[in-house]
Structure 1
Amino acid sequence: MDILRFATAGSVDDGKSTLIGRLLYDTKTAFSDQIDAVEKVSRERGDEHVNLALLTDGLRAEREQGITIDVAYRYFATPKRKFIIADTPGHVQYTRNMVTGASTADLALVLVDARKGIVEQSRRHAFLATLLQVPHIVLCVNKMDLVDYSEEVYQRIHEEFTAFAAKLRVPDLTVIPVSAIHGENVVTRSENMPWYDGPSLLHHLENVHVASDRNLIDVRFPVQYVIRPQSDEWHDYRGYAGTVAGGSIRKGDDVMVLPSGFTTKVKAVETADGEIDEAYPPMSVTIRLEDDIDVSRGDMICRPQNRPHVAQDVDAMICWMDETTPFRVGAKYAIKHTTRTARTIVKDLNYRLDINSLHRDEAATTLTLNEIGRVRLRTTVPLMCDEYSRNRSTGGFVLIDEATNRTVAAGMITEAV
């Protein structure tokens, strides 16, 4: 079975955690002792219904305030597909947490409260999802029970969000009316909304096509580890382990190793279970080459006629994540890109982006917590990279403060200079 990774997004109290709790509850994925504990806490708090949000909100501060702060990862499966859910916060001060959760997602689930309609945070999270190149977006109009299952309310929100999404060039948008607390249109179709003829949320999640979203054209294999056993039986063995970031790799393929530029052929593609015919994203494999050439961690295996950019100057969009020190021109950081680590200096801040109005502030000189801007970086060693829009694995990176070892920014390469 394939895996669908999806992240929730939306404003505070739109019901993101409740919706995930309902998915876990109705698909019989939550353990009975978890459900018993949630029912007990709900009774003690005097809640009218079983508070399914408690299945994901694990921090004490989250339960006390009724909000999500940390990114909670939950797993469940149906006979058709496995799912990894990232329940991300709605508060504006936790934008960095939302970026973290959505960075690996195949689909973003944006919730809106049917009573409030599209609010600033709805637009903010939809923009962040498109900035992070999440290929599928589902707008869930939640709490339909509180507007008497009104088709008119649903259509107004549908039209407003569709018009906004057109500016963001969303490749695939689906709108579903739901009531998470009652489980309507979540796992099964709702009888209270006969005017809606689309699928339930779970049916859409099970059937959305994500295999074509992966880049199967550009072969990209960042070397993570060189396997060189020190035993008599395996003294001739030399393998290069890593995760396939793009394309498909087969035995006999012509390949090039960057940055050295040496060319050779693939001798074998192996996993823990033995040799396989083909590797593709996101498989973790070991590649053996026919020639003994110099290959080390951080190098990139690709096709001779289809190479990534090899550049020391890159333009990128970054989300600043450090709450103590602002981003500034001239600062030096460590950069982690695929399996390569280098040092980098900030050459320029082109503009700061207001993600509510999409206005570019070209006079900005710094970025503070949760702010997004376009920057130019110069690295000490070349990066083998692609534009983030072409390959999320080879186009993404993080910046690290070497003094504190904190991750201070997440970045998406827009252009290799």
Structure 2
Amino acid sequence: PTKGLKASKKLIELAKKKKNPYYELVGMSLVDYVYKNNVDYKKLLVSSNLTIAKSVKIRDFRREIEAYASKSWALMHLGMLSEAKKILDNTQEIFKELSSDNDDDVEVMGVFMAAYAEFYNLQEKDVESIKKDHAALDYFLKIKNNDNRNMHLIDTYSNMGLSYSYTQKTDSAYFYFQAAKDLIPITKSYSKKSENIIYFGLGSGYNTQKKHKEAITYLMKSLEISKQNGYEDIYVESLNQLSVSFKTSNNKDNLYYKKYLLAKEEYENKNKLKSEEIATIKENNLSFFDRNKTMIFFSIVISALSFVIITLFLSNKNKNTEKKYQKAAQIVEEKSEEITGLKSKINDNHGEVLQLAKDNSPFFLKRFAEIYDKVYNGLVKKYPELSDTQLKILLLSYLNFSTKDIAASTNTSPRTVQTHKYNIRKVINILPDEDFIKWVRDFENRL
């Protein structure tokens, strides 16, 4: 990737000297590609904006669509999903400027659909993600150049395999992983990241089937590729799956396990600042607190007190009515002050828990258990097999944290959180098509 970035920038400089805007734009698109694969989304956001401006200026619709796909990719991975969705929806209007008979045009339309699939993938909407991957596949299959077609098929098959694995359809997942793997030997140029996904997907699949020793071979290969190429998202996923493999196989003295511990520490130290930066970017766009239950509670109390006033007023039509009404009004005023104080306390307590969660504080679990004791104790008693990490993800979900929110607060990747959620679904039997946050929010009512 480093060599690719240098070569792309050199191409841009040379194109500027030769006053060739076409090759300048090609170089800019390649820069976007490198930043995207290196998971450097802040730089991708900047570079894709420059590419969009250049492509609009010289009316290159194909590069414009490609750049918009890159920009949406950056935004969605930075947690700005609504902005990414708006770009994806609007960009499809430019498709009419392209030709379905041109390999380059068909290719970029497929790349765009793959970005749409990733948008749903990040939100754990795997069914919608698979549909968009199939749409991308339809475009890529039209590419006449064998090597170029195979390159994109490897990308799409590997992503589809991953999506199917998250919907617990292991047979379909294995089929697509194997289809991608079979194309690699006959394809001259392909994305190393897709090969990385294949090894990771097969390894995590073996973990799901409790074939942990078989999983280790694939996951260590995944770890090696991701570390060599700087694919931080897959790197942390491989570490997570390896922890499952070694923990279950009780083989903690294994050389690979020691290597895993060292690699894990190295990644966490390297990734900490980046996660904090992403969290800062998102901070002003988050809204966690659902006040519905609180407002319903206070409405009931106010209604009950109002009923008391009306009853007293109507049942005492004598000379003491006014005095009794005044007394009732005084009671209501006192109770209203109590309610206001209680409401303030609830808001303060929730705000405290929320801040502890966002700061990834070690006191979060303890404070949550004190304030939301019914939810906490209910989960612990009903599902004692939950790990501390799984329990924490459930509690954060109760606070309306999305997958991206949890990743930002815990200094992990969205894929890691997604994997944990997948395992949680299996432990406590949450259906694949059931909304994860809604299930957790409704848990209290089912006790």
TM-score when normalising by structure 2: 0.24
TM-score when normalising by structure 1: 0.25
More strand by share: 1
Q: Which has the higher Rg, Structure 1 or Structure 2?
A: 2
More helix by share: 2
